[in-house]
């Protein structure tokens, strides 16, 4: 969990009087939350901000994702990580952490991605490397990028070419969506639902 400070702890860390920190809070000069008991808690990022600390962009985290365990077993996930690691080393960057997922890029409930989002606030790195945008997320990449930017973390996409596996994954996602919607409309076990899925599958493949 990201660290936070009480008023007194924050004052000690900065070497200022407690009343100064309280005044900053009253004037909205500090971002803080309150505990159920009403105590102010100030996130560590505020300490870094006031201390003039910036994220070290030569210290990076890696994020890699494949859509299926079959791809993982075939070494696709390891190859992504190897490519990202080589890229970091070629630029003289230190790899501080690695996050991975096996699952669809449209799935928001991914353990690796959620860990990355949880850690990003207080991370000791200033850059996240991914091979392609859709490895991080199928939709909403720009929103995630803006979220990282808020904490001084840059998202770097290392490949310029189109991800050849992305088209296959997109087709699979489309078929799953069609199956879900047609199942809700016609029934998951209905022949009509299967007919719709088969038609779409034939068209896109």
202 included as an active-site residue: no
User: CB of 42 within 8 A of CB of 34?
Assistant: no
pLDDT computed for residue 1 by the predictor: 46
pTM for this predicted structure: 0.61
Q: Which CATH class is domain 164-204?
A: mainly alpha
CATH architecture of 59-157: 3-Layer(aba) Sandwich (3.40)
Q: Does domain 4-51 fall into CATH 1.10.1660.10?
A: yes
> What percentage of the chain has pLDDT greater than the value 70?
82
The encoded tokens of residue 88 equal: 């970091």
* Measured torsion, CA atoms of residues 161, 164, 77, 116, in degrees rounded to the nearest 10: 60
pLDDT computed for residue 182 by the predictor: 73
pLDDT computed for residue 175 by the predictor: 60
Backbone phi, then psi, for 132, in 5-degree steps?
-135, 155
Which of 100, 88, 80 lies closest to 154 in space, CA to CA? 88
Residues in the chain predicted with pLDDT less than 50, given as ranges, are 1
Q: Tell me the pLDDT tens digit for each residue of 5-18.
A: 999 999 998 889 99
pLDDT computed for residue 177 by the predictor: 63
4, 67, 68, 115: the catalytic one is 67
User: CB of 109 within 8 A of CB of 71?
Assistant: no
What number of other Cβ atoms are within 10 A of residue 103's Cβ?
A: 16
Q: Where would I find the beta strands (DSSP E) of the chain? A: 4-5, 33-34, 40-43, 59-66, 94-102, 127-130, 154-157
Q: Tell me the pLDDT tens digit for each residue of 77-120.
A: 999 999 999 999 999 999 999 999 998 877 778 999 999 998 88
**What residue ranges do the domains of the chain occupy?**
4-51, 59-157, 164-204
pLDDT computed for residue 170 by the predictor: 59
> 92 to each of 51, 75, 85, 118, 166, how far by Cα in Å?
26, 26, 11, 26, 29
The encoded tokens of residue 161 equal: 């070419």
Question: For the range 190-196, what are the long-range contacts, defined as Cβ-Cβ under 8 Å and sequence gap of 24 or more?
Answer: none
User: CB of 117 within 8 A of CB of 84?
Assistant: no
Q: Rg (Cα) of the chain, in Å, rounded? A: 22
101, β-bridge pairs = 65
User: CB of 101 within 8 A of CB of 110?
Assistant: yes
């Amino acid at each position: 969990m990201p660290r936070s400070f009480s008023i007194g702890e924050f004052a000690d860390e900065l070497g200022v009087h407690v009343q100064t920190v309280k005044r900053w809070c009253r004037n909205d000069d500090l971002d803080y939350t309150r505990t159920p008991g009403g105590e102010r808690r100030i996130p560590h990022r505020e300490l870094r901000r006031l201390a003039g600390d910036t994220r070290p962009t030569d210290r990076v985290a890696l994020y890699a994702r494949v859509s299926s365990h079959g791809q993982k077993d075939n070494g696709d996930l390891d190859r992504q990580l190897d490519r990202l690691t080589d890229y970091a080393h070629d630029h003289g960057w230190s790899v501080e952490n690695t996050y991975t997922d096996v699952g669809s890029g449209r799935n928001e409930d991914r353990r690796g991605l959620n860990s990355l989002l949880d850690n990003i606030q207080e991370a000791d790195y200033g850059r996240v490397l991914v091979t392609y945008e859709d490895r991080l997320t199928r939709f909403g990449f720009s929103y995630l990028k803006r979220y990282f930017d808020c904490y001084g973390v840059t998202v770097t996409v290392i490949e310029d070419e189109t991800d050849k596996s992305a088209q296959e994954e997109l087709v699979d996602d489309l078929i799953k969506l069609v199956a879900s919607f047609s199942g809700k409309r016609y029934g998951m076990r209905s022949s009509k639902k299967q007919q719709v899925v088969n038609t779409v599958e034939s068209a896109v493949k």
